[in-house]
Amino acid sequence: MSPFPASPRILVIGTSCAGKSTLASEFSLALAIPRIELDVLFWSPGWQPKPQEVFLSLVREAAAGECWVADGNYGMIRPVLWPRANVIVWLNYSLPVVFWRGLLRSIRRSWRREVLWHGNTESFRRTFLSRESILLWILTTHRRRARMLRCLQDDPQYAGIEWIEFRTPAETSRWLEGLCVPPARPQLDVTPSHNTPVR
């Protein structure tokens, strides 16, 4: 029996590089529901963020459906997205775990020049020699984000949302095995084409 409601609207949250995108992809494929990748809706070419009102409009439209899974944090869209959700999956991993994951991912993306949202790529300079480094972001926000999410979990306005919290990747994997959720395959483009931002 699925632990999710009949019409699941799932948020996958957690600190940067915890594995939110991979888990959301697995849910999307296993449950046959659209995935809302918030990074796709937020970024424009050249790593330029969209204007807030545009981002909010894209999120509102993408989350209007009966079922979906969304991955990402973005506090500015919480008033739009969270009231629509009925399940939150929190990857509450330790700092060493997410930093190591972030380091390996950044090295791979920089070395392979992997193309991300709307043609953006991570470079060695951006990752290791810039104030915009994702690794620096992890170090400076990990503890604060965990405290904030714990407060949100206890917030009465979100009492109607079911929270599922994992503290380690192994715990997450065991839970997925119990659900018979297959490993993530190549990402399907389930974001409506008219919502795809031009970067």
User: Per-residue pLDDT tens for 84-120?
Assistant: 999 999 999 999 999 999 898 888 887 878 788 787 8
- Asked if residue 73 belongs to a domain, the reply is yes
- Asked if residue 190 belongs to a domain, the reply is no
Contacting residues for 101 by C-beta, under 8 A, at least 6 apart: 17, 18, 19
DSSP string for 4-45: S-SS-EEEEEESTTSSHHHHHHHHHHHHT--EEEHHHHHEEG
Higher pLDDT, 192 or 79: 79
Tell me: pLDDT of 165 over 90. yes
- Asked if residue 187 belongs to a domain, the reply is no
Higher pLDDT, 135 or 52: 52
- Asked if residue 45 belongs to a domain, the reply is yes
Window from 3-7, 141-145, 156-160 with minimum mean pLDDT: 3-7
Q: How many domains does the chain have?
A: 1
Q: What is the pLDDT of residue 49?
A: 94
User: Per-residue pLDDT tens for 11-49?
Assistant: 999 988 999 999 999 999 888 999 999 999 999 998 899
- Domain with 49, as residue range(s), is 9-179
Token pair of 183 as six digits: 């490993």
- Asked if residue 55 belongs to a domain, the reply is yes
What's the pTM value of the predicted model, to 2 decimals?
A: 0.83
At 132, the pLDDT band (50, 70, 90 cuts) reads confident
- Asked if residue 192 belongs to a domain, the reply is no
* CATH code, domain carrying 162: 3.40.50.300
Q: What is the pLDDT of residue 108?
A: 84
- Asked if residue 42 belongs to a domain, the reply is yes
Whether the CB-CB separation of 102 and 138 falls below 8 Å is answered with yes
- Asked if residue 4 belongs to a domain, the reply is no
